[in-house]
Amino acid sequence: MKYVPTTVDFARMVVSLMLVVAAAGAVATPVAAQSDQPAWAVDMFDRMGPMVETYNAEVDASDFGLMAGQLQGEKVNLVVDDPANGTEASVSFTLDDNLRMQDLALGTRDDATIQMSTTTETMDGIIASTTPSTAFKDAVVADEITISGLGTVSQVKWAVINVIGGVLQGIFG
């Protein structure tokens, strides 16, 4: 016979998960500050400027489906890893209600609500794309850009979203 947890047991499990995620977030190391940026970060940031203009002109939040509601209004720290030389750069921005990128800056923001992580290869592909909003969306769906929450509530929210997304991707491909 299968065990079906009671509501109390289920609530205890959820609270325990939240405490574990909060504890992990409390000991996580901070992302590199702007002064710690590698030389290639400035070049990437400069190339992102024109890409952001194209992205903002073409982005349609409805193309992002359910993901749009989760990204609207988020303050983002984007961490780009260069595995060739073992360095990483960070760029920050906000996403408005239409998923347009605003306030692009080199380095991280202290009030970020989510962190996106990717590689230089993926970022270079998005920057070079003639349709960067589609390239961005495709990279998120393909798990070439991972999203995690910053702060306890956001960590739990994105952990759940990532688990559900993984299950749905496993079912529907």
The answer on pLDDT for 18 being more than 60 is: no
What mean pLDDT comes out for the span 146-173? Answer: 74
Alpha-carbon distance values, 44 to 39, 67, 94, 99, 172 (Å): 9, 26, 18, 21, 35
Q: How confident is the model at residue 56 (pLDDT cuts 50, 70, 90)?
A: very high
Contacts 24+ apart (CB under 8 A), 15-23: 17/156, 17/159, 18/152, 18/156, 21/152, 21/155, 21/156, 21/159, 22/152, 22/155
- Mean pLDDT, all residues of the chain: 80
Q: Is residue 103 part of a domain?
A: yes
Q: Is residue 149 part of a domain?
A: yes
Q: Is residue 19 part of a domain?
A: no
Q: Residue 156: which CATH number?
A: 3.30.1050
Q: Is residue 2 part of a domain?
A: no
- Nearest residue to 86 (alpha-carbon basis) of 148, 158, 38: 38
pLDDT, tens digit (0-9, with 9 covering 90-100), for 63-75: 888 788 889 999 9
The answer on pLDDT for 12 being more than 70 is: no
Residue 65 CB-density burial (10 A; 0-12 exposed, 13-18 middle, 19+ buried)? exposed
Integer Cα distance of 1 and 120 in angstroms? 50
Structural domains counted in the chain: 1
Domain that holds residue 159: 30-172
Q: Is residue 17 part of a domain?
A: no
Least confident of 41-45, 66-70, 88-92: 66-70
The answer on pLDDT for 5 being more than 90 is: no
Q: Is residue 21 part of a domain?
A: no
Q: Is residue 56 part of a domain?
A: yes
Q: Is residue 116 part of a domain?
A: yes
pTM above 0.75, yes or no: no
Q: Residue 114: which residues within 8 A CB-CB, separation 6 or more?
A: 71, 74, 75, 76, 77, 147, 148, 149, 150, 154, 158
* Per-residue model confidence (pLDDT) at position 157: 77
What mean pLDDT comes out for the span 19-32? Answer: 40
The answer on pLDDT for 4 being more than 60 is: no
